[in-house]
Amino acid sequence: PNGRLLSEFEDTPPMSTYLVAFVVTDFECVSGTTPNNITVNICGRPDAILNGDGNYALEVSVKVIPYYELSYNVSYPLSKCDQFALPDFAIGGMENWGLITYRETALLYNNKTGTLANKQRVGEVVAHELAHQWFGDIVTPQWWNDIWLNEGFASWVEVLGLNHSNPEFRSFDTFVSDVLHPVLIMDSLYSTHPISVEVTHPDEINSIFDAISYNKGASILRMLYTVLGQSTFFKGVSDYLNHFRYGNAVQDELWTFLNAAINPSLLDNHSVKTIMDTWTLQEGYPLLTVIRNSTDNSIVLTQKRYFLDPYELNQTSLNVNSFQWYIPFNYMTSSNSSSIQWVAPNQTRILPNIV
């Protein structure tokens, strides 16, 4: 009526307000379907899409979505997944539920002129944003102080997703050089901050989207994933997602579900929360010192917070010994390798007769 056009849309599942988005464009799309009949659309400028620049992102998406469904043991709850490459977009990607928006260079890849580094970057960002469709969108953090769970989790799970779609990129190896090593420098400075920080004002929100939330968050979740094992880790995550589906949660609730999935002896009878609080609620990380005693073949392990610049520490009144962690480790001898061992806070760990 009156020259207006009325459009009606299907109801969405209950969703967080910050994940709502819509687009109005004259873009073209290239489409595909997952084994569970989820339609995937990669959309962008018509000339780019007609040139085939959306094909690689589509290839990654139709492989990664069913892989995540299997890993999380939670079906993708929407009928389609639209992904838009925007010519003018400030960030790499935004995980709006079912309508992911990207900077063009993070979604489109020209197979004739693009480099392998460009291709890997597109795969990483697509796998990252798709990981959010479960962890962040189906269950959303209750408040911004837990945003590291969103970003750290997606930054780790993207490694699994990209390894599934493109194992030739060796994402498990590049994680160490591209994610872990850079944040070790940042987190060794006096100016660093804990992963989980209290947010009391809107002006503080942007500042926590940094390498500590993304890289360190991913690194400690990688550590937990390695200790628990893939099946146990995802069993806890699956139970967490199903319990809080279409709602909000805090980090302690994730620890509770991970804890319920394990044999307590695996963590030396400590809870997941007890261990992970030492990594999320205090800044920095430990330097683990290992000393071999040649007289009795014992090994002594001690910990101390690491600072890149000891001079910086000397200029403060900070008590470095007040920072202590639960540290998992294992070792190999000439005859066998050990199971996961632990150094507890304020503990001098002695391993006798190691030959």
SS3 84: strand
> Is 128 annotated among the ligand-binding residues?
yes
Which distant-in-sequence residues (6+ apart) come within 8 Å of 191 by Cβ?
none
Kindly list the distances between the CA atom of residue 230 and the CA atoms of 18, 210, 258, 271, in Å, as whole numbers in the listed order.
31, 27, 12, 18
Helix (H) or strand (E) holding 29: strand 28-33
> Is 132 annotated among the ligand-binding residues?
yes
Neighbours of 353 (CB within 10 A): 9
129 part of the active site: yes
What 3 state SS string does 180-230 have? HHHHHHHCCCCCCCCCCCCCCCHHHCHHHCCHHHHHHHHHHHHHHHHHHCH
Helix (H) or strand (E) holding 259: helix 251-260
Neighbours of 4 (CB within 10 A): 5
Chain CA centroid to CA 77, Å: 21
Edge-to-edge strand list for the sheet holding 298-305: 286-293, 298-305, 349-351
Q: Tokens standing for 270?
A: 């400590």
Cα–Cα nearest to 160, from 98, 109, 230, 209: 230
76 near 177, Cβ under 8 Å? no
**Catalytic member of 129, 198, 204, 253:** 129
> Is 164 annotated among the ligand-binding residues?
no
Residues 277-312 as b/e (b if ≥16 CB within 10 A, e otherwise) read bbbbebbbbbeeeeeeeeeeeeeebebebbbeeeee
- Active-site positions read 129
Q: Which residues are annotated as a binding site for Zn(2+)?
A: 128, 132, 151
